[in-house]
Amino acid sequence: METSNSEKYVFYREKYYCLYEYVAGSVLEIKDTEILKELGSTIGVEIANLHQALNSVNNNNELVKRDLYKVVYGWALPILEKNEYVHQDVIRKMNQIHIDFKETVHSLRKQIIHRDMHLSNVIFKDNEFQGFIDFELLESNVRVFDLCYCCTSILSELYSDEVLRGKWQHIISTIFEGYNKQNILTREELQSIWYVMLSIQVIFITYFVQLKDLLKLNEEMFFWIFANKEAIEESIERIARK
């Protein structure tokens, strides 16, 4: 919302403040997997619509430009290598895929993304999409990051329940299918999903390196995603054949 001086922000005591219009509604109950299956396509469509809107802004010179490869191999892994609590297989497995990761991520399409695309920032009312909130982390990055972040955030809520976890791949396939209806994903993007999901887990492991329970959860998710490469890729690549 604009200020009385028609500005978008107020600068006060070395900080910027802004006011957003209230988005009426609530967040989805992630453990209600039947609702997620029903609304997954809608979530994907709306992320695609948001990406189209963000891409049209065309002022990403004012935003942080994030190089996902450098974030993982230049920032996160050096921190993890020095920490005694981190499972060393995380580092070993990322080193194992180092060259493939670099080649895969390098060619991906970049644009302005939301960067915090978990479902607590997606508002629904009576199962109708209302809007997105929390745009503080906007940055220029690979566009599939938002999709992968959304999917791994869902996994984090379902992971501890084996039955619910088993429904995750179907849920994410509907999200990707919805996105692809609005924004066609390239072959390179479809082939990158597993790598980008792993990168997100590495980032979270680094963030939570001092918090034992969250560190353990994100390490377990990392290993699970790593082990389920074929199943995840099959879930995603089905949309390319439709």
**Separation of alpha carbons 62 and 16, rounded Å:** 15
**Separation of alpha carbons 209 and 84, rounded Å:** 10
First to last CA, the chain: 42
CATH number of 25-241: 3.90.1200.10
The structural domains of the chain, with segments of one domain joined by +, span 25-241
Task: Check: CB of residue 65 under 8 Å from CB of residue 183.
Answer: no
pLDDT reported for residue 46: 99
pLDDT band at 239 (very low <50, low <70, confident <90, very high): confident
* Phi, psi for 38 (deg, rounded to 5): -70, -40
Q: CA 78 from chain center: how many Å?
A: 22
pLDDT reported for residue 221: 99
**Separation of alpha carbons 175 and 110, rounded Å:** 20
* Phi, psi for 201 (deg, rounded to 5): -65, -40
Mean pLDDT in residue range 207-231: 98
Average per-residue pLDDT for the chain: 95
pLDDT reported for residue 241: 65
User: Looking at 1-5, 75-79, 106-110, 219-223, which range is the least confident one?
Assistant: 1-5
- The percent of residues above 90 in pLDDT, for the chain, comes to 87
Mean pLDDT in residue range 190-208: 98
Task: Tell which residue, 201, 202, 198, 193, has the closest CA to residue 78.
Answer: 202
Task: Check: CB of residue 190 under 8 Å from CB of residue 121.
Answer: no
pLDDT at 242 over 70: no
Give the list of residues 6+ apart from residue 90 with CB closer than 8 angstroms, or none: 80, 202, 205, 219, 222, 223
pLDDT reported for residue 2: 87
pLDDT reported for residue 65: 94
**Residue-wise pLDDT tens digits, 32-79:** 999 999 999 999 999 999 999 999 986 657 789 999 999 999 999 999
pLDDT at 222 over 80: yes
